[in-house]
Structure 1
Amino acid sequence: MPVFILATYKWIDKTEHRSLMPKFNGFGKFITKIMIPMVVVFVIAIVPSYLASNSNSFYYGASKIFGPETKLGADTEKIESVFGKSDTYVLMVPKDDKQTQKELSDALHDIPQVTGIISYVDTVGVEIPESYLDEAAYSKLCSDEYTRMVISVDTEYEGDKTFDLVKEIRDTAQDYFPDEWYLAGQGVSTYDLMDTITADMVKVNLVAIAAVFIVLVLTMKSLVLPVILVLGIETAIWINLSIPYFMDNTIFYIAYLIISSIQLGATVDYAILLTDRYKEMRQVYSKKDAIINTISAVTVSILTSGSTLTVVGFLLGKISTHGLLSQLGYFLGKGTLCSLAIVFFVLPGLLYIFDKFVIKDNRKDGRFHE
């Protein structure tokens, strides 16, 4: 960037124009009047927003990604309107114990969502020896060690009812063939995906927060400031992700996972910029005047980046027909607005309240203003 600027500085000078943005001194004075009440609102909102953001309903698989606006979504919707929603699972169990297979099949037939089973014991029967069957036909149902049951189920590819059904089929197989069975299918894979990424979510969040916190500790040489900044941005993320909960919307878990990291990394810079400028201003001004001058100095920079993320996010959400990308776009747009609100209306109040920690390094050098 420095090389590029040096190479084009003549054009930069020729195309310079007057500032189109106001000074924002009035905005800074307005912030000083409301920042303490906003801190109170912020503190009250932390716990509810955290709980709500973790109580959303999720889509874990890809069954809902393509909406009716897409060709795939429209075709799927038309097929389901005629034939209904269904899925197929494959259950593999040891092949030698035919009587137990029959008992397992009867138990599976008793499950209301099971509409049919294709297996050796259902198609051929327990009484007929394997040697009576054609090898080509036999090989479709049995291998050297296992026989398979193709189970047709009347359920969607994912959802609470689907997951309850998968668990019930697994428990039934476990009763008859303890630890000797395998179950596969789209609904089963989605259930496993839910199990895996739900556990991974905690790790991803903790690693992301820890990484940002360590960077802030090393750069700011403080423990209190990183806590304030990370808590502020994390609360903005929780507020963003709590909106679908209060609107009773279902979200894609992968979008939830991605935006939690993106919003933290993309918007924590705003908090860092405002905090660094406040520390500089406190060398010259009192606390209140430092807030006013800080807001005036950083608003244009923060709004430039924030408005870009907001506009691009909402455009992606509006234009994209891909369900996941659209949801990510809306999350990015709303999340950036939440982060901007926290940085402009809450962070100044936190810096004002914890001012003694902010100017600690400056006090050692005698560089601060009462």
Structure 2
Amino acid sequence: MKEDINEVMRNMKEGINWSIKDNINDKTKGYIKESMGKIAEKNQKRKLTARFAAFVVDKRALFLFIFAALCVFSIFSSSWVQVEQDLAAFLADDAETKKGLKVMQEEFVTYGMTNIMIANISYEQAELIAERMKSVKGVFSVAFDETKAHYNDASALYNVIFAYEENDQRYVEAINALKEEFKEYDMYINIGLDDVYIDTIIKEIVVVSIYIGIIIIFVLIFTSQSYAEVPVMLITFISAAVINMGTNFFFGTISFVSNSVAAVLQLALSVDYAIILINRFREERETLPAREAAINALSKAILEISSSSLTTICGLLAMTFMKFRIGFDMGIVLMKAIAISLFSVFLLMPGLLMVFSKMIDKTRHGNFMPKIPFIGKFAYSTRKVIPPVFVVILIAAIYFSGKCPFVYGYELLKTAKQNEMQIAKNMIRETFGSANSLALVIPAGDYESEGKLIKELESQDEVEYIMGLSNIKAMDDYVLTDRLTPREFSELTDLDYEVAKLLYAAYAVRDEDYGKVVSGLDTYGVPLIDMFIFLCGQAKEGYVKLDQDLQETLDEAYTQMSIVKQQLQGENYSRILVNLRLPTEGEETFQFLDTIREIAGKYYDDGSIYLVGEASNFYDWSKAFSSDNILVGVLSVVFVIIILLFTFKSVALPVFLIAVIQGSIWINFSFPYLTGSYVLFMHYLVASAIQMGANIDYAIVISNRYLSLKNEMSRREAIIEAMNQSFPTLITSGLMMAVCGILIGAMTSEPVIAGMGECIGRGTIISLVLVMFVLPQILLLGDKIIEKTSFTISPFIRALNAKGTIYVDGQITGQVSGTIIGNLRGIIHGDINAIVESGEMKVLSENPGSQSQGE
């Protein structure tokens, strides 16, 4: 019975579906009910998608114009996108570093500064160069001495502070002036100019994109069956990428990572969609004119493409839940990219197929894609061997990936290519060692507590150098925050004592400290820096008359003190600069950061203390990673497994597919441990989410083909044919993803981008190997488990009792008594007395009293 019913079901395509049954067994009834439900559901969807497809194809000129206009607009709007180069900006809002950075931006002025190393010079030359640097316009100060911190191995290191803020264009001009002044020397400048750095990255990505474009053209030619199919797909890809870049301004600010790699990853993640549609069009074109072929191809491909995109979107969606908001940034940018790619395939590509249809017909060529029956044969013969071996490899991969050496900074990362800034930084590090600088932000106004804090921190072995207002020496061994009486201040500045007393009186009145004026000023102490700045202000306003020499001395000192105060003291907070003898990351460093907080907590409330610097940034990242790692891993698996459950309606099959892809992730991140290389924590989070969301499609393609074919042929033949049919999709999509990742890793110098590309490229290759040489064996061995854990979802059923003349358009199950006029397609259990005007009627089984007639 089941075989006969299947034959009838395969012949059903469109129209009104009827099923009239009486006294049949429950098993047959349930099967027929399920089959008819599927047919009705498909017919309803086909009607909707067919109408949509016809509209798109018939209005193709409109859609071509819309996409052309969007591309032109996006070319201009792409310059509106704000790009954030500092990854610390993507820390969670409650992260200490994020809070501290906000306070520092509001409270302090940060002047531009840089380290400049000049190699192959004598110490005498180094001294002369230091003096020349001070005379360059825009240079405020140059720190250089005979210690090894500034002169080592015939190389000099100058700490240069500029008179302009970091975001001032004059700061860039001053750096360029230094480069020009000392261009005859071997000079290395360690600068962090956002615009320069981003321009370097963009130039590298452009070169990578050109290489990828050339490779993609060859891949498309190899996998296509007409040369004219290639421009159709290229125009679709390029339009989607341009529109995506041009619409990023809706997000306000995006990271330099998303800005750099979104277009490349968009192509790699969405190439399947265009391939599916063009394959459908090719099949329909065999028997139909171009218009009808395009309509049928689009209507059939919509659901298939949409389903394929869901797993990718789920992987990207998991990234958006990361506490480290770079995941949210990349997630929304790439999800928008996938959505735009879908719209381009659905709305733009059908019109392009119509435009190029004649050329597609004229430029057809033979199929360059080889058959791979040997893989299917190998799978069948090793179905009982490979799965146990894979389990052993999986256990080892779990162990090795658990020991993956994650890092949170760039210092230990190596890239195949290095830019000018990286070369300079490495040269300085190799010659003078690395610096670990922190800013300790504390409440302002209590110089005494600040001084005690500085002294206690200075006593720590881990502290190399510390600077705050309370330990900067001014004159005569006084520090800037020492309280001086009028007598002491007059002696220090050669100011007349009576004038000094008047000055102190004016200061007390300004601060509404009238008690000091009444009780006497002789013992009234004011911090040196505050009184000095007050004196200069009074002199500028003409309240205090000074001789010319003293005025010039005060003006010079005032400039220096003002710059120092702007950097170290704000309205509500003060800043202490701390250099550590520890690396920028590691357990020892992170523990000492907690020690600094404990010491500062003795003098200030814990909630008002902030540590800001690379080390604190990495510490915050390490704490976020511990939770993000679990969150992203669990969510990506959960989201994908839900999609797979409804796709395959089996419990076991999604588990098998997830095991294969998760296994590829574990194997991928076993390599760093085995090769002794380091991995930025972000690489794992992003690459694993993309692997789970995108590479799972390769496993879905093979599984779908096998499950469909095994009902028509033996399991051995089914797996061989499934691999043959899946190979073009796997090699096209997988090869593009792998090539994109590998080229990004090899040809970009930015460690975040390069490492991410390397991990994605390597992970894709591993995924391809596993789905081609491990998954088929798992499907064969687990076939019975897959069938036993299958389930069905019953369609929505509506009961209807009616009499009279009734119009029916849809599937029904039940008893009908009367005369039927119309197209009938279904299974009837009972008696028929009717004329078959067209088509056929076949008796599946004989029952007593049953009869049929007609042609």
Task: Indicate the SS of the match to 2:418.
Answer: coil
Give how far 1:340 is off. 1.3
Query: Aligned partners of 1:164, 1:257: CA distance in 2, in Å?
Result: 25
1:125–1:317 distance in 2 versus 1, CA, 3 Å:
closer
Match of 1:163 among 575, 586, 590: 590
8 Å contact 1:65–1:322 — kept in the other structure? Answer: no
Task: Indicate the SS of the match to 1:35.
Answer: coil
8 Å contact 1:274–1:294 — kept in the other structure? Answer: yes
- Give the aligned length: 364
Query: Aligned partners of 2:481, 2:729: CA distance in 1, in Å?
Result: 77
Match of 1:154 among 581, 589, 592: 581
Q: Partner residue of 1:367?
A: none
CA deviation vs aligned residue, 1:290-347 (integer Å, no higher than 9, x gap): 2222223222321222222222322222222222222222222221121112111221
Q: 1:19 and 2:367 equivalent?
A: yes
Q: Partner residue of 1:71?
A: 420
8 Å contact 2:469–2:480 — kept in the other structure? Answer: yes
Match of 1:133 among 528, 541, 544: 528
1:210–1:362 distance in 2 versus 1, CA, 3 Å:
closer
8 Å contact 2:410–2:751 — kept in the other structure? Answer: no
Task: Indicate the SS of the match to 1:104.
Answer: helix
CA deviation vs aligned residue, 1:56-90 (integer Å, no higher than 9, x gap): 22232455678672111111123334443113222
Task: Indicate the SS of the match to 2:584.
Answer: coil
| Match runs of 1:83-102 below 5 Å | 83-94=432-443, 101-102=450-451
8 Å contact 2:371–2:724 — kept in the other structure? Answer: yes
Query: Aligned partners of 1:191, 1:347: CA distance in 2, in Å?
Result: 40
Task: Indicate the SS of the match to 2:662.
Answer: helix
Once the two structures are overlaid, the 10-residue window that deviates more, 121-130 or 26-35, is 121-130
Query: Aligned partners of 2:570, 2:399: CA distance in 1, in Å?
Result: 49
Q: Partner residue of 2:140?
A: none
Match of 1:273 among 694, 698, 701: 701
| Match runs of 1:219-258 below 5 Å | 219-258=647-686
1:14–1:153 distance in 2 versus 1, CA, 3 Å:
same
Q: Partner residue of 1:366?
A: none
CA deviation vs aligned residue, 1:239-273 (integer Å, no higher than 9, x gap): 11111011111111222111111112221111111
Query: Aligned partners of 1:300, 1:145: CA distance in 2, in Å?
Result: 65
Q: Partner residue of 2:461?
A: 112
Q: Partner residue of 2:745?
A: 317
Query: Aligned partners of 1:296, 1:252: CA distance in 2, in Å?
Result: 38
Q: 1:187 and 2:582 equivalent?
A: no
Once the two structures are overlaid, the 10-residue window that deviates more, 5-14 or 199-208, is 5-14
1:128–1:297 distance in 2 versus 1, CA, 3 Å:
same
Give how far 1:285 is off. 2.3
C-alpha RMSD of the superposition: 3.0
Matched letter for residue 749 of structure 2: T
Q: 1:37 and 2:385 equivalent?
A: yes
Q: Partner residue of 2:720?
A: 292
8 Å contact 1:56–1:242 — kept in the other structure? Answer: yes
Give how far 1:49 is off. 1.6
Once the two structures are overlaid, the 10-residue window that deviates more, 148-157 or 243-252, is 148-157
1:217–1:85 distance in 2 versus 1, CA, 3 Å:
same
Q: Partner residue of 1:305?
A: 733
Matched letter for residue 682 of structure 2: I
8 Å contact 1:34–1:345 — kept in the other structure? Answer: no
Task: Indicate the SS of the match to 1:151.
Answer: strand
Task: Indicate the SS of the match to 1:134.
Answer: helix
Give how far 1:207 is off. 1.8
1:300–1:60 distance in 2 versus 1, CA, 3 Å:
same
Matched letter for residue 245 of structure 1: Y
Q: 1:218 and 2:646 equivalent?
A: yes
Query: Aligned partners of 1:311, 1:35: CA distance in 2, in Å?
Result: 30
CA deviation vs aligned residue, 1:182-201 (integer Å, no higher than 9, x gap): 22222212221222233222
Query: Aligned partners of 2:635, 2:457: CA distance in 1, in Å?
Result: 43
8 Å contact 1:88–1:153 — kept in the other structure? Answer: yes
8 Å contact 1:92–1:146 — kept in the other structure? Answer: yes
8 Å contact 2:691–2:763 — kept in the other structure? Answer: yes
Q: Partner residue of 2:137?
A: none
Q: 1:339 and 2:767 equivalent?
A: yes
**Bigger relative contact order, structure 1 or 2 (CA pairs below 8 A, ≥6 apart):** 1
8 Å contact 2:650–2:791 — kept in the other structure? Answer: no
Query: Aligned partners of 1:78, 1:42: CA distance in 2, in Å?
Result: 45
Q: 1:9 and 2:357 equivalent?
A: yes
Task: Indicate the SS of the match to 1:36.
Answer: coil
1:159–1:15 distance in 2 versus 1, CA, 3 Å:
farther
8 Å contact 2:376–2:776 — kept in the other structure? Answer: no
Task: Indicate the SS of the match to 1:90.
Answer: strand
Q: Partner residue of 2:320?
A: none
Query: Aligned partners of 1:233, 1:356: CA distance in 2, in Å?
Result: 21
Query: Aligned partners of 2:680, 2:425: CA distance in 1, in Å?
Result: 19
Task: Indicate the SS of the match to 1:268.
Answer: helix
Task: Indicate the SS of the match to 2:437.
Answer: strand
Query: Aligned partners of 2:432, 2:375: CA distance in 1, in Å?
Result: 60
Query: Aligned partners of 2:720, 2:408: CA distance in 1, in Å?
Result: 46
Query: Aligned partners of 2:750, 2:527: CA distance in 1, in Å?
Result: 52
Once the two structures are overlaid, the 10-residue window that deviates more, 131-140 or 219-228, is 131-140
8 Å contact 1:85–1:155 — kept in the other structure? Answer: no
Query: Aligned partners of 2:371, 2:733: CA distance in 1, in Å?
Result: 18
More helix as a share of residues: 1
8 Å contact 1:283–1:362 — kept in the other structure? Answer: no
Once the two structures are overlaid, the 10-residue window that deviates more, 210-219 or 180-189, is 180-189
CA deviation vs aligned residue, 1:88-130 (integer Å, no higher than 9, x gap): 2222345676665455334322332311222344343997466
Give how far 1:236 is off. 0.6
Query: Of the two, which has the highest radius of gyration?
Result: 2
Matched letter for residue 528 of structure 2: L
8 Å contact 2:569–2:575 — kept in the other structure? Answer: yes
8 Å contact 2:481–2:527 — kept in the other structure? Answer: no
1:131–1:334 distance in 2 versus 1, CA, 3 Å:
same
Query: Aligned partners of 2:371, 2:527: CA distance in 1, in Å?
Result: 91
8 Å contact 1:53–1:245 — kept in the other structure? Answer: yes
1:106–1:339 distance in 2 versus 1, CA, 3 Å:
same
1:78–1:362 distance in 2 versus 1, CA, 3 Å:
closer
8 Å contact 1:25–1:292 — kept in the other structure? Answer: yes
Q: Partner residue of 1:348?
A: 776
Q: 1:327 and 2:675 equivalent?
A: no
1:115–1:331 distance in 2 versus 1, CA, 3 Å:
same
Matched letter for residue 21 of structure 1: M
Once the two structures are overlaid, the 10-residue window that deviates more, 173-182 or 312-321, is 173-182
Matched letter for residue 105 of structure 1: I
Structure 1 regions of 5+ residues with no counterpart? 364-370
Query: Aligned partners of 1:99, 1:362: CA distance in 2, in Å?
Result: 74
Once the two structures are overlaid, the 10-residue window that deviates more, 243-252 or 328-337, is 328-337
